[in-house]
């Protein structure tokens, strides 16, 4: 268990004011947000301009008659309006609900109904029908722009640090997603990662590879730079991995944030030597475990370190390597100073396990970045609270030096002949094979009554498919029950818009007419 002095939280605190008002006062003409398209920058907004627009949108939202704490759902593409409405809701004392434009209308309508959203801010391509809105107020780009240019809120809402600020939906234990409710204080809970993971200061330029609807992007790509007075750069062009080194060079990015899968794709498809990456200090990675061989390959190719972090929607990142924590391959790092974590047994007890033992990773409930709770899900909320601890479902161990070893999500575990197997472990072995470019592992059912561990592999350009060879490679490095019983070769892995492998869709990529022997 790790224990260091906690972040001090004031009684009154507004997250938007913390990020924008003081920066607009310090350097109103400094670029705060640069949006980049296929042909170059499409929009540059200074801190002064963003502060003014956010306060205008805040006043406009309150002018709709919304009460404090009303939910404002955002359903737009990757453009500046998204983040302006997000911070406008916070500035007004409302609750911002970011959502993905990839949601189907039915999925979006569920979020509207479940959250009780009062307003849906949507681009024309993402607009909902009157039936889906069910009486909610809908605003589009014209209304948002009019609010941004209209009379601004004179002062940011005088919210308490514990007042609700954001509602983020994530996968639940049922078939429906659940809402994770965060307070304004969660922004202060992010402070330890600025120094100890990101190495972030006001002189930095942060280029994030994600889209705005993702909490990784909203947090690391926008909120953290603005809290520190840095410049945020976001890209809204074709998702070609070969473009990223050019974007890093063109915008003088000092920090680049992405998922491990994208770093692998950059190494595979981009010409790193054709671009000046001298201003880049290091890369940041989260969302998936960072394989040691990928870490080594990136450092060989660029001479730049990758700093990994482990987190979740309920708390964001809280374990990391970084400028103050040396990288240890195979580990996401140590708890950031101020974090209290422990490994608890899976039998329900709340006594921390000794170093080296594997169990469930827990965060102390005094953590300021921890969620307020799950929206209207008391049973699911009770399931993750154990005495003084929040237990989020990550399986891990902590060594004697405080480094965490991630063993996968408890709900990602596969059942192989009665044994529980983590896909991360099998993926790490397959990824280390010299012919493998990308890999995903999931439980596959060759017939309804049989589930087996299967590997889904994208080969390097000069490699040939050799299922027997890959299975032999695994058998030399894994216990027999962990070894894949089938290897499927794909042209590409199914991924989210932000590059994360969608394990649950891997089996769907198979040709239904193909046969395979487990």
User: What is the set of domains in the chain, with CATH numbers?
Assistant: 25-32+47-189 (3.40.50.12780), 193-325 (3.40.50.980), 413-509 (3.30.300.30)
What tokens appear for 134 in the block?
């069910």
pLDDT at 514 over 60: no
Q: Which whole number is the average pLDDT over 301-325?
A: 95
Res 449: pLDDT: 53
pLDDT level of residue 171 (50, 70, 90 thresholds): low
pLDDT level of residue 417 (50, 70, 90 thresholds): low
Q: Can you give the pTM of this predicted structure?
A: 0.83
Res 416: pLDDT: 64
pLDDT at 518 over 50: no
Tokens 């080969």 appear where? 459
Q: In whole angstroms, give the CA distance from residue 222 to residue 489.
A: 37
The CA distances from residue 36 to 61, 243, 271, in Å, are: 28, 12, 20
Q: In whole angstroms, give the CA distance from residue 220 to residue 316.
A: 9
Q: In whole angstroms, give the CA distance from residue 346 to residue 400.
A: 21
pLDDT at 113 over 90: yes
pLDDT level of residue 283 (50, 70, 90 thresholds): very high
Q: In whole angstroms, give the CA distance from residue 221 to residue 316.
A: 13
pLDDT level of residue 200 (50, 70, 90 thresholds): very high
Convert 415-446 to b/e letters by CB count within 10 Å (16 or more is b): ebeeeebbbbbbbbbbbebebbbbbbbbbbeb
**Window from 2-16, 220-234, 394-408 with minimum mean pLDDT:** 2-16
Res 82: pLDDT: 97
**Window from 23-27, 202-206, 426-430, 466-470 with minimum mean pLDDT:** 426-430
pLDDT at 46 over 70: yes
User: How much of the chain exceeds pLDDT 70, in percent?
Assistant: 94
Q: In whole angstroms, give the CA distance from residue 167 to residue 416.
A: 36
Res 511: pLDDT: 47
**Window from 54-63, 99-108, 225-234 with minimum mean pLDDT:** 99-108
pLDDT level of residue 358 (50, 70, 90 thresholds): very high
pLDDT level of residue 509 (50, 70, 90 thresholds): confident
pLDDT at 409 over 70: yes
pLDDT level of residue 420 (50, 70, 90 thresholds): low
Q: Which whole number is the average pLDDT over 129-156?
A: 96
Q: In whole angstroms, give the CA distance from residue 307 to residue 286.
A: 9
pLDDT at 513 over 50: no
**Mean pLDDT of all residues belonging to the chain:** 91
Res 173: pLDDT: 45
pLDDT level of residue 414 (50, 70, 90 thresholds): confident
At residue 412, φ and ψ (nearest 5 deg) are: -95, -10
Res 425: pLDDT: 79
Res 415: pLDDT: 63
To which H or E segment does residue 168 belong?
strand 164-170
pLDDT at 447 over 80: no
Q: Which whole number is the average pLDDT over 55-70?
A: 98
């Amino acid at each position: 268990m790790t224990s260091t002095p906690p972040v001090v939280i004031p009684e009154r605190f507004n997250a938007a004011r913390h990020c924008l008002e003081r920066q607009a006062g310090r350097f109103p003409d400094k670029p705060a947000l640069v949006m980049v398209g296929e042909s170059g920058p499409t929009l540059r907004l200074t801190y002064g301009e963003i502060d003014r627009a956010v306060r205008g949108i805040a006043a406009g939202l309150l002018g709709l008659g919304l009460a404090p704490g009303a939910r404002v759902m955002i359903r737009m593409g990757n453009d500046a309006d998204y983040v302006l409405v997000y911070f406008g809701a916070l500035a007004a004392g409302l609750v911002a609900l970011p959502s993905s434009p990839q949601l189907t209308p039915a999925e979006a309508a569920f979020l509207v109904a479940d959250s009780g959203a009062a307003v849906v801010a949507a681009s024309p391509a993402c607009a909902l029908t009157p039936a889906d809105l069910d009486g909610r107020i809908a605003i589009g780009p014209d209304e948002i722009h009019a609010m941004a240019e209209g009379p601004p809120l004179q002062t940011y809402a005088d919210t308490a640090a514990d007042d609700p600020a954001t509602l983020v939906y994530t996968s639940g234990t049922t078939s429906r997603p659940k809402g994770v409710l965060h307070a304004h204080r969660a922004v202060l809970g992010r402070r330890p990662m600025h120094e100890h993971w990101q190495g972030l200061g006001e002189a930095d330029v942060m280029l994030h590879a994600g889209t705005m609807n993702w909490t990784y992007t909203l947090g690391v790509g926008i909120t953290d730079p603005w809290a520190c007075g840095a410049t945020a750069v976001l890209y809204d062009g074709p998702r070609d991995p070969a473009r990223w080194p050019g974007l890093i060079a063109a915008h003088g990015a000092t920090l680049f944030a992405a998922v491990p899968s994208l770093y692998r794709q950059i190494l595979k498809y981009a010409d790193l030597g054709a671009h000046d990456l001298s201003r880049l200090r290091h890369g940041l990675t989260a969302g998936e475990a960072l394989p040691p061989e990928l870490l080594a390959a990136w450092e060989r190719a660029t001479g730049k370190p990758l700093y990994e972090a482990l987190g979740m929607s309920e708390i964001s990142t809280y374990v990391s390597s970084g400028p103050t924590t040396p990288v240890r391959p195979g580990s996401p790092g140590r708890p950031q100073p101020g974090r209290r974590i422990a490994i608890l047994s899976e039998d329900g007890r709340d006594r921390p396990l000794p170093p080296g033992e594997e169990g469930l990773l827990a965060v102390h409930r005094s953590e300021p970045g921890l969620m307020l709770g799950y929206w209207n899900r008391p049973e699911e909320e009770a399931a993750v609270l154990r005495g003084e601890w929040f237990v989020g479902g990550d399986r891990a161990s902590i060594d004697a030096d405080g480094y965490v070893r991630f063993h996968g999500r408890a709900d990602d575990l596969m059942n192989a002949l009665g044994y529980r197997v983590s896909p991360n472990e099998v993926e790490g072995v397959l990824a280390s094979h010299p012919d493998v470019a990308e890999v995903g592992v999931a439980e596959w059912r060759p017939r309804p009554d049989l589930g087996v561990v299967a590997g889904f592999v994208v080969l390097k350009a000069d490699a040939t498919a050799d299922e027997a060879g890959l299975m032999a490679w695994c058998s030399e490095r894994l216990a027999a029950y962990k070894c894949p019983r089938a290897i499927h070769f794909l042209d590409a892995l199914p991924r989210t818009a932000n590059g994360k492998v969608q394990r649950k869709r891997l089996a769907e990529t198979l040709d239904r007419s193909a046969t395979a022997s487990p």
